[in-house]
Amino acid sequence: MIKNDLFLRALKGETVDRPPVWMMRQAGRYLPEFMEIREKYDFFTRCRTPELASEITVQPIRRFGMDAAILFSDILVIPQAMDIEVQMKPNFGPYLPNPIRKAEDVDRVVVPNIGDSLGYVMDAIKMTKEKLNDEIPLIGFAGSPWTILCYCVQGQGSKSFDMAKGFCFTQPKAAHELLQKITDITIAYLKEKVSAGCDAVQIFDSWGGMLSPTDYQTFSWRYIQQIVDALKDRAPVIVFGKGCWFALHEMAKSGASAIGVDWTCTAQNARYLTGGKITLQGNFDPARLLSPPEDIKKMVRQMIDEFGKDRYIVNLGHGILPNVPVENAKAFIDAAKQYAP
């Protein structure tokens, strides 16, 4: 039994004394203890070494005492497992030297055996569960098929993902074949994560907001729905789409346990668009963690008041920025933990 099950109770919609709190990307780049590890090991070595991944996962928990841990990993381990080369370049980000641009490229993409290609992730989960010692739940995650396609086709990060969109619009058959392959491996991957010990999973649709509402249904949501359908009876599923306020109504009907909201959508609108009966997560602007700690505490209290303490998980509206002072991150967590209606 998990001692602090506040996060899992919020996902079930139960009445709680205060909402649980965690932060997207809480394991990583803003922490000095993470920086020490980063000096010694490159990015994918950290992801692929269970001892390192599990240590990085629990670092913020030791420091701040969040109500949930999220496994240190990356959404791009999926294309790597599919035999697509992914590099992480310092001060640049992801780089895929051989992007997918035509149907023949899609044909070469493999749907691998999860144990063979991503077994190191399962080992990291088991090590992390040991370190957490049933104190709090562990979240596993994956990128949405559309978001993974964006990197696979564009070959790197982008402000517009014009090549990825162009691929979908000019070669829809190949695009849907690739999206389905990514979906199939993602479902298998998340099922294995739950079997290895993850208590909940989150799907990150980081680039969903790049699409129009119509194209979102065609190239993103239909694949996310497949993942939710496959996982929802095994573990709670959280769906987070950045810039996807237009899809909140659809997301709320999906069978997911919670919907993540970014900072461009108010609590009132998020509750309205989702029908008021599903757990919401978010939506503090990560850049607001650069504000003075006292201001952060006030804003967090106000945010909770606006969402309401029940069916709510305190979080950021996207991942924490690397230049956030540690004391500001602490102010965010403390404000949620000290909340009293």
Question: Is 249 assigned a ligand-binding role in the annotation?
Answer: no
Q: Is residue 237 within a helix (H) or strand (E), and if so which, with residue range?
A: strand 237-241
**Known catalytic residue at 38:** yes
Residue 276 to residues 86, 228, 302, 308, Cα–Cα distance (Å): 40, 20, 18, 11
For residue 87, list its beta bridge partners. Answer: 95
Q: Which long-range contacts (CB under 8 A, 24 or more apart) does 80-86 make?
A: 80/44, 80/117, 81/112, 81/114, 81/117, 81/118, 81/185, 81/189, 82/109, 82/110, 82/111, 82/112, 82/181, 82/182, 82/185, 83/108, 83/109, 83/110, 83/112, 84/109, 84/152, 86/44, 86/151
336: its two tokens: 């949620």
Residues in CB range of 276: below 8 A, 6 or more apart: none
> How many angstroms separate the CA atoms of 85 and 98, rounded?
7
- Find the length of the chain: 341
Q: Which of 5, 9, 17, 25 is catalytic?
A: 25
> How many angstroms separate the CA atoms of 186 and 203, rounded?
10
**Known catalytic residue at 162:** no
Question: Is 64 assigned a ligand-binding role in the annotation?
Answer: no
Question: Is 27 assigned a ligand-binding role in the annotation?
Answer: yes
Question: Is 25 assigned a ligand-binding role in the annotation?
Answer: yes
Question: Is 80 assigned a ligand-binding role in the annotation?
Answer: no
Q: Which of 9, 63, 74, 310 is catalytic?
A: 74
Q: Which of 151, 189, 223, 339 is catalytic?
A: 151
216: its two tokens: 């979102």
145: its two tokens: 């098929």
**Known catalytic residue at 151:** yes
Question: Is 180 assigned a ligand-binding role in the annotation?
Answer: no
Question: Is 206 assigned a ligand-binding role in the annotation?
Answer: yes
> How many angstroms separate the CA atoms of 135 and 137, rounded?
7
> How many angstroms separate the CA atoms of 282 and 298, rounded?
16
For residue 142, list its beta bridge partners. Answer: 203
**Known catalytic residue at 223:** no
Question: Is 54 assigned a ligand-binding role in the annotation?
Answer: no
**Known catalytic residue at 74:** yes
Question: Is 26 assigned a ligand-binding role in the annotation?
Answer: yes
Per-position b or e across 79-104, b if 16+ CB within 10 A of its CB:
bbbbebebbeeeeeebebeebbbeee
Q: Which of 9, 18, 30, 38 is catalytic?
A: 38
2 close to 136: Cβ distance less than 8 angstroms = yes
Q: Which of 29, 222, 234, 301 is catalytic?
A: 29
Would you list which residues are annotated within the binding site for substrate? Answer: 25-29, 44, 74, 151, 206, 318
Catalytic annotation, residues: 25, 29, 38, 74, 151
Would you list which residues are annotated within the binding site? Answer: 25-29, 44, 74, 151, 206, 318
